[in-house]
Structures are given as structure tokens and as C-alpha cells.
Structure 1
Amino acid sequence: MASTAVARRRGWTRIVVVALVVLSAGGCQWPRDADGTLDRVRDGTIRVGVAHNPPWTIVEGDGREPGGVEVVLARRLADSLGARVQWVPGGEAELMAGLSERGLDLVVAGLDARSPWAQDVALTTDYLTTDEVVAVPGGEPVDTGTHLSGLDHVVAVPPGENAWQSTVERFLLDLDDDEVRRLLDTHRAGA
């Protein structure tokens, strides 16, 4: 009987501890950013690294603003936060170093979830899956029905910026897949 009473007391103790944790967490902002990225970019500036990888990202190198599917999405994200975008063009390795050192807030580069950078930066949940298929040469691409693999498209954020990453992921996951595919078709066509 003594062991039953001890077990009940431990059970109640666990319930009380969990309740206290939940109640105390209610006053805390969760998730949190290690360096306050979300608070800084909201109504401010998002520093977006962009590497050339058409049709996802198009960097001309002649001083013009970049283009491509993910550039459009980064602009929309900024608009949703009342922020402006500061574009930082560069090579993927250079941009990922800048992201991990917190010199950038976001990198768009046509990345997929199998990116080798996943150990250095934080990758978002995939927002779109595209199939790589065997096609025949010619005018219009013809799907032969042979699918090689699927690519899960992601963007990169600084590690430890959990509130920022959650905000970016919510934005991406709220996107309409058909709209993103239309953007993709438009940028593939060079429009």
C-alpha cells in the first residue's frame, strides 16, 4: 500500500510540475530567436542572400534586381512583415557562410531538403515538391512517365533563429501550390 501512495504522490507531483511549466511558459515568447531576427526584420529590412539558380533565382550581375520564383516569394514574405528586402547576391558557399555568421537573414538559391548546408544553417520545411522526369528533346517538354526523383524545395535561415524560422515556414506552408507552380512555369518560360 505504501508503494501505491508513493506512486500516486509522484503522479500528482508530475501533473503539478507540468501545469506550472505550461502556465509559466504562457508568459514567455516561444519559439525564440537567439539574436532577435524576427523582431529586427519586422517593419525593418530583411537581408536576403540570392544565388543564381534559374528558374528559382535569377541574378543577372548587372545591378538589376534579381528575379525568379523564390525572389518573388521573398518579396511577398517581406511585404507580409512590413519589411523591405536588401538583396545580397553571391555564390551559394559565400551566402551560407554569411547566413551562419548572421550577416544574412534568409538565403534563396533553389535549395532542396538534401542540401549539404543543412549542418551549417537551418533549412525550412519543404514548401513545394517537384519531380525530376525523363523528357524528350524538342519544343514542349514531354513527360515520358519515368520519374527520377522528387525535390523538396526549402530556403535557409540562420541557425537558432527559431521564431524567425517558424514565421518563414508558416508563410511558405500557407502558399498555394498551384500559384507557386504557375510562378515556376512563368520563370521557366523566361517571362
Structure 2
Amino acid sequence: MQSKDSFIQFVFSHKRPSILIVFAVLVLAGCRYPVNIERPIADMHGGELNIGLSENPPWVINTDQGPAGLEVEIVRALAEKMNATINWHWGSEGNLLAALSQYQLDLVIGGLTQDSNVSALAAPTKAYYQSHYSVGVPEGISLPSNLEGVEVAVPVINHIAHALKKEGAIPRPTPDLGTHNEAVTNPSWWLHAHNYQIGDWEIATDHHVMALPKGENAWMLAVQRHLNSYPDIEQRLQHLEAGR
């Protein structure tokens, strides 16, 4: 059987090749399976994966027994598929992404989102899960009909206060969410885990991603396929949050 390159040479050796044939050949020449520019995907199968992780419960949790959390579970399942061994590397998000950009790591996890500054140093996956923020109240308390003038507890460090103000609410930074009988804004999985009644407000949405080195296209394809097929993420997040 002729190779692709031999076939291309054969077509262009004729003096007047059909325009359609030439077009088909050019398309064929560009259709190559994704490859990595730094580390061959074959080396990863049965080899070692260097994973950078930054603590951010329930996505990544640092325990006495080792890493835990949703994204740790996802990566372990991927490594098992590939018959690969994982080397975990803890660090801050910024340091890990810098190491990733120099191909010292294969993947960085830690509850990263499309809104975080990932793409400057790395290639983010497509969003594999969306956290939808709403307002909830504990059982036994009536949900307000609207948020105008309502005090709503939010994490001390957050990115949702501005969106709440647009709804007329009064954000109140609170260090210990879920310990008082008050309205709270957090993702739906958090509110469900704490048995809150959830309103219909759509305050904000986080698009969750993982970070890979730029140019590792075959690796990106493998990771994205795994993420797209990973089941029951919402339920797993609720379980992890309820167990904290």
C-alpha cells in the first residue's frame, strides 16, 4: 500500500491533476493525529505522570494519607487507564503553572477555572464542569421573593460580591459559612451538601479546567476525553463537601 507522501507525489507528478483531487490531497496531508511537541504520549503510557497540585477543597485536599479530592480522583482514574505512576508535586498555583510552562510537569490541578490566569502560561482544557452560584437559605427559613436589601453571606475572599450587588443584595463576607441561619451564596453543589433551599437566581458560573503544557496535543486529547466521560461530578462534589 502506498504511503500518504507517496500518494501525494503520484498525484502531483501528473501534468494536469484535477482541482478536486488536489484539494483532497491537501486536506489529507493536513489530517495527522495530534502529537506532543515535548514528550511523546507513548512515554506516558506505562510511565510516570508528574502532576502539580494546589490545595483547594473539595477539588484538591491535602490529607495525612496523601492527596484527595475530586480532581485527584479524576487524575488517578486516568493514570490507571494508562497504567502510569503518579508523582505528586505540591505548590502554589503560580509556581506550578510556571513549572508547567517549562515542561517540568504534565498537568496542574487545583480547582482552576477559565477565569483564572491559566492561559498565559499553560494550555487549559475545555471546561469539564460548571459550578453555578445561587442563593440559598437553611431549612425552616423562607426564601425571599427577591434579593433587594437582603444580606447574603459570602466567602471572605470571593468573586461574586459585585454580581450580588447587581441583584440588590448586600454581600457580607463571612469566615464560617453554613454555621448561621442566614442566606448564603455558593455553588449549587455546596448548598445541596449543606441542605440549603436554593433559589432561582443565577449569580455567577465557574467553568472548571485543568492545565497542560502548551503544544502537548496528544496528551490534551487524552485528558479531555477522560474529563468528558467522567461521571457524577455534581454528586461527588456534594459528598466531598458534606464529609468535610
| Shorter-chain TM-score tier | 0.7 to 0.9
Do 2:122 and 2:214's aligned partners in 1 also have CA atoms closer than 8 Å?
Answer: yes
Structure 2, unmatched stretches of 5+, are 1-15, 138-179, 182-193
Task: Give structure 1 regions of 4+ aligned residues with deviation exceeding 6 angstroms.
Answer: none
SS at match of 1:72: helix
Do 1:59 and 1:89's aligned partners in 2 also have CA atoms closer than 8 Å?
Answer: no
Q: Which has the larger radius of gyration?
A: 2
Task: Give the percent of matched residue pairs that are identical in Structure 1 and Structure 2.
Answer: 32
* Length-normalised TM-score, structure 1: 0.83
Larger fraction in helix: 1
Give the alignment's Cα RMSD to 1 decimal: 2.2
What is the match of residue 51 of structure 2? 48
SS at match of 1:114: coil
What is the match of residue 7 of structure 1? none
Do 2:74 and 2:230's aligned partners in 1 also have CA atoms closer than 8 Å?
Answer: no
Comparing 35-44 and 94-103, the one that deviates more = 35-44
Map residues 80-119 of structure 1 onto 2, 5 A cutoff. 80-119=81-120
| Deviation sequence 1:147-169 (CA, Å, 0-9, x none) | 21111111110001011001100
Do 1:37 and 1:105's aligned partners in 2 also have CA atoms closer than 8 Å?
Answer: no
TM-aligned CA deviation for residue 89 of structure 1: 0.7
SS at match of 2:46: coil
TM-aligned CA deviation for residue 22 of structure 1: 4.2
SS at match of 1:145: coil
Structure 1, unmatched stretches of 5+, are 1-9
What is the match of residue 129 of structure 1? 130
* Length-normalised TM-score, structure 2: 0.66
TM-aligned CA deviation for residue 119 of structure 1: 1.9
TM-aligned CA deviation for residue 37 of structure 1: 4.5
What is the match of residue 223 of structure 2? 168
